[in-house]
Amino acid sequence: MLEAFDFVIFGGAGDLALRKLIPGMYRAYCNDELPEGTRIFGTSRREEDITQYHQKVRAAAEEHLREGEFVAEKWDQFAKCVHPLFLDIANHDENWEKMAETLKAGNKQRVFYLSTPPSVFGVCCKHIAESDLISPTTRVVVEKPLGYDAQSAEAINSEIAEYFEESAIYRIDHYLGKETVQNLLALRFANGIFEHLWDAKTIDHVQISISETVGLEGRAGFYDGAGALRDMVQNHLLQLLCLVAMESPNKLTADSIRSEKIKVLESLRPLKGDAVKWHTVRGQYVAGEMNGESVPGYLDELGKESTTETFVAIRAHIDNWRWSRVPFYLRTGKRMEKRCAEIVIQYKDVSHEVYPSSAGPLSPNRLVIRLQPEESIQMVLMSKNLEKHDTELLPVALNLNLAETYKHFVSDAYKRLMLDAAAGDPSLFIHRAEVDAAWAWIDPIIEAWQRPENRPLAYAAGSNGPEASEELLSGDGCHWFNIDDLLPEGKG
């Protein structure tokens, strides 16, 4: 059972803390998942943040929690365990000493959450160590971006490793905390039927797509230096790819899962030089329309010239026995038509068509795992149209609608991961070797993108990305799948 712990958020008045971390802790409190006596500390070096800390976190929670979740009385009770700390991470002064005294007096399990730019990870860990706050059970949670390439990631990881053992470092990828992502493991490894339908013999290709409707969201400084490949593909999309493609771990332990994921990352066929142009598409949104409203382009939002991509599509291959010649299409973009994160496993066509063409075209079977906006798992099958005397075949879906089944459950990836870190369960966190392997695949793509012919292509805000992204798939005889387009009304 989880015991009371001290949770220190460096960058406690920052965007992530206010939008996700503190609201996540409040959800844990409301679900009785926060042991009594737990203390949450939020640091800031701005004095005005500290004096107004409680007002600030409350206003953010009211704004970011879902409808009906914010209950003033509950919040007031919860807020008693939230403590602001005035502290400059870079200056190991008396404020650090005060914090150390408070934490030592509490004598609880400690988790330090570095919700700061990675440039201060090293100095922050150093000061935690110099304040004598690292015990054998102390953990440090670090947020992405872990570097901009393999070399900078290595430097950041080495800095943290000077003070914390690898087993105490919890690298977050919040996609791993999403319930449907974990359900993907359950689907694969708690059911017998899929193992026989999970390889190059049966699967035609896999699509993993995360489309967002948001634009820069006030993060221009960070985003323009990163772009969609570093921000989304290097971590979230590759993690999802690993969970789809990995072999069954011997046990469900962090080490077994991670070693299977690393094998997948290491089997990714390198994309280098000229190959990058043929297997990747970069895009940048220009002004367009979303929900009937005009939306500015990326450069207008940014206020300067830039060749940073806000959209990526990639055709990847995993060179191992199971996935030989099965393309994995990855796609992500900002300011897309719809917000949707989805994994589509497309099976091969039937080996011999017995139905006459009058029965209509056959759609291949597809397993569609939707992570958001709603969580569901659907299997698209062909079936006879019951309303017709003559045989007419139509796609229908076996639908496991998790959002409907768990009506009152509010999925919160950050809450889950923070509690896992407090409980010392690293299964859903990233090992250093995974970070290295992911960058090893990403770096040559970034390098090739420096060539003038690989500048991002324009796509209108509110669209599905550049035309070239459709062509990437149509050249292979497929297309980006949208279950809503396929299923006739009422057949889902």
Q: Which is nearer to ligand BG6, 141 or 341 (CB)?
A: 341
Helices (H), 93-198: 94-106, 121-130, 150-161, 179-189
Minimum distance of ligand BG6 from residue 429's CB (angstroms): 15
Minimum distance of ligand BG6 from residue 214's CB (angstroms): 6
Q: Determine, following the binding rule CB under 6 A, whether residue 212 of this chain makes contact with ligand BG6.
A: yes
Q: Nearest residue to ligand BG6, using CB?
A: 231
Minimum distance of ligand BG6 from residue 235's CB (angstroms): 7
Catalytic residue of the set 236, 352, 408, 431: 236
Minimum distance of ligand BG6 from residue 271's CB (angstroms): 22
CA-to-CA distance for 262 and 394, rounded, in angstroms?
40
Residue 421 and residue 139 in contact, taking contact as beta carbons nearer than 8 Å: yes
Residue 397 and residue 483 in contact, taking contact as beta carbons nearer than 8 Å: yes
- Tally of CB atoms within 10 A around 76: 11
Q: Which is nearer to ligand BG6, 219 or 479 (CB)?
A: 219
Residue 71 and residue 105 in contact, taking contact as beta carbons nearer than 8 Å: no
Residue 314 and residue 241 in contact, taking contact as beta carbons nearer than 8 Å: no
Minimum distance of ligand BG6 from residue 261's CB (angstroms): 18
Minimum distance of ligand BG6 from residue 299's CB (angstroms): 18
Minimum distance of ligand BG6 from residue 368's CB (angstroms): 17
- Tally of CB atoms within 10 A around 2: 16
User: Helix or strand or coil: residue 491?
Assistant: coil
Residue 338 and residue 309 in contact, taking contact as beta carbons nearer than 8 Å: no
Q: Site mask, ligand BG6, residues 293-332, x = CB under 6 A? A: ----------------------------------------
Q: Determine, following the binding rule CB under 6 A, whether residue 204 of this chain makes contact with ligand BG6.
A: no
Q: Determine, following the binding rule CB under 6 A, whether residue 375 of this chain makes contact with ligand BG6.
A: no
Strands across the sheet with 366-372, in order? 393-401, 376-384, 366-372, 340-347, 203-211, 328-333, 311-316, 280-286, 457-460
- Tally of CB atoms within 10 A around 119: 9
CA-to-CA distance for 215 and 108, rounded, in angstroms?
41
Helices (H), 352-461: 402-405, 413-423, 432-448
Per the annotation, the verdict on 279 as an active-site residue is: no
Q: Which is nearer to ligand BG6, 23 or 84 (CB)?
A: 23
Q: Which is nearer to ligand BG6, 212 or 375 (CB)?
A: 212
Total number of residues binding ligand BG6 (CB under 6 A)?
4
Q: Determine, following the binding rule CB under 6 A, whether residue 231 of this chain makes contact with ligand BG6.
A: yes
Q: 123-182: which residues touch ligand BG6 (CB under 6 A)? A: 174
CA-to-CA distance for 417 and 421, rounded, in angstroms?
6
Burial 156-185 (b: 16+ CB within 10 A, else e): bbebbeebbeeebbbbbbbbbbbbbbbbbb
Place of tokens 């993108």: 449
Q: Which is nearer to ligand BG6, 150 or 220 (CB)?
A: 220
Place of tokens 């889950």: 416
Minimum distance of ligand BG6 from residue 436's CB (angstroms): 19
Q: Which helix (H) or strand (E) holds 228?
A: helix 228-228
Q: Which is nearer to ligand BG6, 40 or 229 (CB)?
A: 229
Q: Which is nearer to ligand BG6, 332 or 346 (CB)?
A: 332
Q: Which helix (H) or strand (E) holds 436?
A: helix 432-448
Q: Determine, following the binding rule CB under 6 A, whether residue 6 of this chain makes contact with ligand BG6.
A: no
Minimum distance of ligand BG6 from residue 383's CB (angstroms): 33
Q: Which is nearer to ligand BG6, 231 or 443 (CB)?
A: 231
Cα dist from 225 to 275, 276, 307, 310, 373, whole Å: 24, 20, 10, 11, 28
CA-to-CA distance for 282 and 448, rounded, in angstroms?
12
Residue 452 and residue 201 in contact, taking contact as beta carbons nearer than 8 Å: no
CA-to-CA distance for 429 and 174, rounded, in angstroms?
9
Active site residue ranges: 236
- Site for ligand BG6, rule CB under 6 A: 174, 212, 231, 341
